[in-house]
Chains A and B, each alone.
Chain A
Amino acid sequence: MSAGVGGVPRYHGSRVPGWDEPADLSKDPAEVPDPASTAVPEELRAEIEAHMAKYPDRRSATLPALEAAQRVHGWCSPEAIEQVACVMRLTPGYLAAVATFYDMLETDPVAPHKIYICTNISCGLCGADELYAAVRDAADESEFNVRSFECLGACDIAPMASVDGVYVGPLGLDDIPQLLDDVRAGRPVLPDKQLARRLVADPHANSREYELHPAQPGSGPRAARPAADAEQERGA
């Protein structure tokens, strides 16, 4: 990338940073890790194995397994990938290739709390770019992983954010301090603005008046889901 005319960045070749860094050809590619020398936390192993049992092909469990490892390690670190590779009997290279494809799998260390701000069309029309800039300014990088995200599927509450998986909106700039405080304290995030509480907009849908739905509980890294019902799956 060079500066280009008028400060507009100009990319040459591929747009992927680091694409031209040479691979170390003197090294052999990593093989499927040896279970004897790879320590895997027992809970993580159980969860990955339960996921594998749900599918006819164990590789289908790649995404849930990486998600589980990310929950344990905070990101898809080389160690996390090594552990998943060991349980799933796949090469770390295969898993790294998958992890780099998906936006929600982090291949670099990140702060513990994730704030995804939708900056796609509908939210953008409602001021999401200003919101994103303001949240970036207000949030401490060591505490919050603030990212602009493509359409999160909640354009009815634009501009919105997904805070540790909880959808909130419409957000104004004055909601930001409260939002960050709620996350820090582990309280439900902006309970009045949660998507979970909203009723459908269509006035013809409901034949009676209904109360708002309950808010979602506090944020924070989601507790590990109980190992899914592998038993029932296996027989089917």
Chain B
Amino acid sequence: MTEALLFKDIDEPGLSTLDVYKARGGYEQLRRALREMTPEAVLGELEASNLRGRGGAGFQMGKKVSFLPKGTMDKYVVCNADESEPGTFKDRELMQKCPHMLIEGIVIASYAAGASRAFIYIRGEYVLQADILDAALNEAREAGFVGEDILGSGHSLSLVVHRGAGAYICGEETGLLDSLEGKRGNPRLKPPFPANQGLYQGPTLINNVETLCTVPAIIRMGGAEYAELGVQTSTGTKLVSVSGHVQKPGNYEIELGIPSREIIYGLAGGPPEGRSVKCWFPGGSSSPVLTGEDLDIPYDFDSMAKAGTMLGSGAVIVVDDSTPILDVALKVAKFYRHESCGKCTPCREGTNWTMKMLERIDNGEATPMDIEIMASVQEHIIGNCLCVLGDAMAMPIGSMIAKFRDEFEAHIEQARARNGLGAAAASESALAAHGAPLAGVGAQPAGPYPSEAH
């Protein structure tokens, strides 16, 4: 990569203030966009850039903007800064160190979308970052970059920093909208999609912090030139947050399409000496895991999808061979169980039962059949809820069961032996003893489960 776009000199002292940001060309793109370009031209550049959303779903931002109905009405831009996907901390860095880049991006995006109100929904835990954003916003208001008739262009925008109060589900776009409207953050049925009926029932553009931060760079370079970065269907640069068992955890800006090995070993230094990569999440805890054999897969949206996983938010969590896979699965299941909003049954019950079954394994009460049941529970969650929170547990747990089945089985046997239930104790007698509480899982009668039942 020739030059960092988002992280360029990100630690320059005072960059969070307007003076330093302006001194290095900040708000110049806003001036150009609002004074020299029509909203259609700005939208054209966004579409030409092929920029895909950096929040998780990877939907093309230009397309999202173009879905908003035209005409005069109350339209909204919402910046999703509720960064709660386990392993993700890239937006935190951007908001803390370069808040004006986000504000500039939001104003340009609102110009393209024809929106006059915008909100930044930041998670409540990010106290420092929200305070910095508030201060930056005040500066931007005073300088006339936000407010009435910005730079004499006729475009007006009010911008509010809204602090959440700790709920993962509020990072889901419709849950976020409900939360922003002052309700419990329950996701909504889609369609209608937010582009048609979002905040206060008005057309709403929702984008991630990193996506909006990229907008000024796209205006500066031109969409076509930006699209030359990265690979054909995954253009541009991406921030990756690397954490877990690596020597140099942190945020890195990469050009999409580089080999994953370069991120985990090249940039983050790989696992500690003498350890090797057992599995890794390529895009936060919601993405199906990959193993040490998958390190040569290019890190871009489509290559990850082809490998059966997803790039998600760009959070690489590395697990080395010292950790039992069951521990990882339990952490994942516990998290989604806690964060399920409880609205849809497959997610509320599926996350709960999955966690309980994993605990059964750890406590030496499970039989190999439990793995089948657990895998079947995951299949029954996917696609059956209003939002993808349940899927976000089902996909990684399902992938762990598929890729580490031997280890799950060995764990069951070891834990049973510890409990005095060796391999000699046939699974049927174990079921006779423990089957009843499980009967609720698959609505099966107590007794041996036919493995082909699902």
Contact = CB atoms under 8 A, between A and B. Distances in A.
Interface of A: 4-6, 8, 10-11, 15, 54-57, 59-64, 66-67, 97-98, 101-105, 116, 120-122, 124-126, 149-156, 158, 162, 165-167, 195-196, 199-202, 204-208, 210-211, 213, 216, 222, 225, 228-229, 232-233, 235-236
Contact of B125 (A55, A153, A207): A153
B405 interface: no
Nearest to A125: B244
B252 A201 contact: yes
A206 B24 CA distance: 14
B241 interface: yes
B372 interface: no
Nearest to B360: A8
B307 interface: no
Interface of B: 1, 4, 7-13, 74, 83-89, 91-93, 96-97, 116-117, 123-128, 134, 138, 141, 147-148, 156-158, 160, 162-168, 179-185, 200, 241-245, 248-253, 267-268, 281, 285, 315, 317, 319, 323, 327-328, 331-332, 335, 338-339, 341, 352, 359-360, 363-365, 419, 433-434, 437
18 contacts: A5-B365, A57-B181, A63-B182, A67-B163, A101-B341, A103-B166, A121-B281, A124-B331, A155-B241, A155-B243, A162-B125, A165-B125, A166-B128, A195-B128, A201-B252, A228-B134, A232-B147, A236-B148
Contacts of A98: 182-184
B181 to A, nearest CB: 6
B166 A56 contact: no
Nearest to A55: B160
Given A200-B7, A205-B9, A206-B11, A153 B158 contact: no
Contacts of B253: 202, 204-205
A208 B12 CA distance: 9
A226 to B, nearest CB: 10
A59 B182 contact: yes
A54 B166 contact: no
B243 A222 contact: no
Which residue, of A60, A195, A213, has the highest number of chain B Cβ atoms within 10 A? A60
Contacts of A8: 359-360, 363, 365
